[in-house]
Structure 1
Amino acid sequence: MSTPENKRKRKRTTTKNKVKKKKQLLSTPQSTLFLSIPYDLLLHIVARVPVLYYPTLSLVSKSFRSLIASPELYKVRSLLGRTESCLYVCLNMVDHFRKGPNWFTLCRKPDKTLTGKERSGYILARVPIPHSPNAEFSSLVAVGSDIYNIGVNQDRFKLTDCSSSVTILDCRSHTWREAPSLPVGLYACSAGVLDGKIYVAGQSPDGYSSYSLTKSVEVFEFDIKTQVWDPVPIPGRETKSPYMGSTACIDGKFNVVALGESVAYDPKEGSWDLGPWLSGHMCSYSYCEIENVLYSAAHGALMWYDSQVKNWRVLKGLVGLPKFPPCAQVRLADYGGKIVAMWDLNAPYGNSPSYKTGIWCAEIALERLNSCEIWGKVEWVDNMLTIFDSFSLVKVIAATV
């Protein structure tokens, strides 16, 4: 006779059998067959897989995690010509002062068959990077598979103090290592990369005022190949208005941005000159450089500037790109010659008075029609991540792996 108690027992037995069967399947030889392939052959197989799938592959087993973090894999990728841009996102969460920044990377949604209704098929996956140091927008620059973090004080309760600290994130192994320190500690560091050198602008303790921005700026040069700083700062040019802590590398020059002007250092000539007017579009850190063109989202619309036009122009096209919210944190990045725009968007959380925040992302292909016209084609727009706590969007940056 079937009773409710008997039905519950049968249901529990069925559930136990399913779990047991699943464990048996996971322990069958078929699940480890792939790892029984010779290591060199396995390296060549995984090296041909796009890096967008690596976060998912690293979840398969400890062996896969070890393989994906191995230097041999990326040597093979390089030999096969399979290197590609890998997008990273740095966030400061509410526990930032206790645990440091959180890092995420763009990856394919696991176990997802894309259809015509899919927005993108991408998500932001958390990167487990232990002991991540404090980072700021202007302190981060990418060189190949490394992300340099320059001149940020690592005492989380003294973030206004100057610092000579330099650390490097290896985007292949996802580990940090120490690098040669700046010759002197600087305030408001901002870095850029030109012709195998990193240039860092900042204010020395002698020229820094804790009450207001000053006009005195020092610039140091770092040789990426030899990993050596020039101990003597580049003879600077004082700006007429206060230094903003922002820089841009366009037209082969290192532009140091002030509130009302910018000055440009030409490494080939070893001289300074008055630079283009950039400050109005760089004050919110919503900018990036792509193929000698500066792009900005500082005024709610995507705009661009280069030395040919010598004027800011609106990026045309952009069908399907929503308007950035007025108070949104917007960050742009060069993603293999395309723009990646990322911003936050608040939405009500159920019936409660609190909000959840979505991190939205758009990938935009660029086409230059003539010297005065650049068009953007929106390839996809999607919500990459939902966060229920306060956070700041530090930077979006692409490394080559």
Structure 2
Amino acid sequence: MSPPPPPPLMKVRKLSSFIADKRPREDDNDPSSPSPLSWLPDELVLQCLLRVPKTYDLNLSYVSKTLRSLVRSPDLHRLRSSLPKNSIYVYFRGEKTLEPKQYWFTLRQIQSSKPEIEYQLIPVNNLPSHPFMYHSSAIAVGSEIFFVGGSSKPSSDLWILDTRSGELSQGPSMKVARTCDSVVGVINGKIHMIGGCLNKKIQVEVYDPKTRSWTVGEGPDERFRLRLITMTQLTASLGWNVYSAETAKINVYNARQGGRLETVKMPSDVVWCMCVVADLLYAYYFREGLMWLDAKRKIWKRVIGVGCNDLKALGVKFHDAVMAEYNGKLAILWPEAEGNHLDRTEIRIRCALIALDWVGDGMRERIEWSGTVAEMPDNYSFHKIFVVSG
């Protein structure tokens, strides 16, 4: 008996039409019919889906019930969350100069004679310093850092820093000049510049690093436009949303819903740090401590575990700290100084790496490592922190 014939090529073409963002005809859209990927183990299909941008999830869900289930599965979410975010770049500014200069460092694991794992902030000498880095909005995508807009003086400039080569190049200008009051976020690999300008027609511009071009994005409705001018630089991106902290609330810009802008209440008025780790938004509040956002219910929940008290015991100065994702963990860096500031010449930079794990429907923290990662001149201070692909 001869073996059964392989699936017809028509199905392959049908799948590729979805990847190309083309929905098939209604008579072809039968989720009960087998797709070509149904012949493969789920583990292999998940590895394939991992290499497809999240923007195609909705289209893929039309192919078959199996793909619909896998696209929505926590396994795919876990795999996407585990994609490498293994390099933290921090730049400090020297404050006692007329034009602040940037000093670049990266967090690295080092060889140590001690049994404990040690980390250090290593100077990165091949990354340049330029005044616009201090005055502009900045964000990382992949291995590149993008500096956009101006400070109090609006600018349409875009500068691109390749952290692998150290090369700095100028990109295409925005259509509208913006100040550092802009909110900047990354949605599906594209940079969204929101607000920071007086142009009512072009409130949002979107930069695609692949095509190296700007397009006009969906702007929020009129009643929210003035709020964009007052937003702070404490921002984070997650899914289709860009979160930005304001007094007593978090503003949420949703690119998928036509630029809709909504708010999420904060448990208190003061939030020191905010970042995303493994597809969850975390913030450190002055009174409540470390919390995470339940995005569906739009409420903040306290991170549980003895680590909450341990952070206080470590003496973390969150009003001067920065935090970011590092290899799936939460990295917190803060300055620690001793003695009178008039006599002091150096400060220590301390770091804590925190593992975050689900316990039921809550999140538990556990400090995996803490220690001194660098000694800096006293006039250095944190300016920005970036997470890039190594």
Superposed pair shares fold, TM > 0.5: yes
Per the TM alignment, residue 237 of structure 1 is displaced from its structure 2 partner at its CA by 4.4
State the partner residue of 1:295.
Answer: 282
- Paired with 2:388 and 2:320, the residues of 1 have a C-alpha distance of 22
The aligned amino acid for 1:297 is: Y
2:173 maps to 1:175:
no
Identity of aligned residues (%): 25
- The residue number in structure 1 matching 2:303 is 315
Aligned to 1:387: 376
Tell me how far 1:363 sits from its aligned partner: 0.9
More displaced stretch, 257-266 vs 183-192: 257-266
Whether the 8 Å contact between 2:185 and 2:191 is mirrored in structure 1 is yes
Greater Rg, structure 1 or structure 2?
1
Question: 1:114 is matched with which residue?
Answer: 113
Q: Is the 8 A contact 2:218 2:259 kept in 1?
A: no
Partner Cα distance (2:356, 2:300) in 1? 16
How far apart are the structure 1 equivalents of 2:352 and 2:320?
A: 14
Aligned-partner SS, 2:299 = coil
For the structure 1 residues 230 and 283, does the alpha-carbon distance in structure 2 shift closer, same or farther, using more than 3 Å as the test? farther
Q: Report the residue type matching 2:293 in the other structure.
A: Y
Alignment counterpart, residue 164 of structure 1, candidates 156, 162, 176: 156
- Deviations along 1:357-379, whole A, 9 cap, x unmatched? 211111111111233x1011211
SS in 2 for 1:135: helix
Query: In the TM superposition, what is the alpha-carbon distance from 1:227 to its structure 2 partner?
Result: 1.7
Q: For 1:281 and 1:200, how far apart are their aligned partners in 2?
A: 25
Q: Distance in 2 between matches of 1:124 and 1:220?
A: 35
Moved more, 308-317 or 189-198: 308-317
- Partner deviation per Cα, 1:195-240 (whole Å, 9 max, x = no partner): 1221112321468xxxxxxxx9932222232121114663544337
Q: CA 1:255/1:184 → structure 2, altered by over 3 Å: closer, same or farther?
A: same
1:396 Cα deviation from its structure 2 partner: 2.2
Aligned with 2:182 (options 186, 189, 208): 189
| Corresponding residue number in structure 1 for 2:223 | 238
Aligned to 2:193: 200
What letter matches 1:311 in structure 2?
A: I
Of the candidates 194, 205, 218, which is equivalent to residue 220 of structure 1? 205
Cross-structure match for 2:95: 94
Would you say the 8 A contact 2:247–2:270 is kept in 1? Answer: no
| Matches of 2:198 and 2:128, distance apart in 1 | 31
TM-score by length of 2: 0.67
The AA in structure 1 aligned to 2:236 is A
The alignment's C-alpha RMSD in Å is 3.3
Distance 1:356 1:377 in 2: 30
Q: Number of residues paired by the alignment?
A: 300
C-alpha separation in 1, matches of 2:319 and 2:159: 29
Q: Which runs of 5+ in 2 are unaligned?
A: 1-82
Pairing 1:338–2:313 present: no
Equivalence for 1:39: none
Q: Structure 2: which amino acid aligns with 1:196?
A: G
The answer for the alignment partner of 1:35 in structure 2 is: none
- The code of the aligned residue for 1:348 comes to G
Q: Which letter maps to 1:245?
A: T
Task: Give distance in 2, aligned partners of 1:332 and 1:205.
Answer: 32
In the TM superposition, residue 392 of structure 1 has moved relative to its aligned partner by: 2.3
| TM-score with structure 1 setting the length | 0.65
Given that residues 165 and 182 in structure 1 are in contact (C-alpha distance below 8 angstroms), is that contact kept between their aligned partners in structure 2? Answer: yes
Asked if the contact 1:348/1:356 (under 8 Å) is kept, the reply is no
SS in 1 for 2:337: strand
Structure 1 segments of 4+ aligned residues over 6 angstroms from their partners: none
Identify the match of residue 123 of structure 2 among 123, 126, 135: 126
Q: Is structure 2 residue 140 aligned with structure 1 residue 142?
A: yes
Task: Report how far residue 297 of structure 1 moved.
Answer: 1.9
Q: Does 1:369 align with 2:359?
A: yes
Structure 1 residues 279 and 390 mapped into 2: Cα distance closer, same or farther (>3 Å)? farther
Once residues 130 and 253 of structure 1 are traced to their aligned partners in structure 2, the CA distance between those partners, rounded to angstroms, is 31
Aligned to 2:64: none
263-272 or 231-240: which moved more? 231-240
SS of aligned partner of 2:338: strand
- SS of the equivalent of 1:276 reads strand
**Structure 1 residue 326: deviation in Å?**
5.4
Whether the 8 Å CA contact 2:248–2:265 is kept in 1: the answer is yes
Matched residue SS, 2:373: strand
1:101 deviates by: 1.1
1:125–1:393 Cα change, 3 Å: same
Tell me, yes or no, if the aligned pair for 1:282 and 1:296 is still in contact at 8 Å: no
**Separation in structure 2 between the aligned mates of residue 194 and residue 84 of structure 1, nearest angstrom:** 16
- What is the CA–CA distance in structure 1 between the aligned matches of 2:383 and 2:267, rounded to whole Å? 19
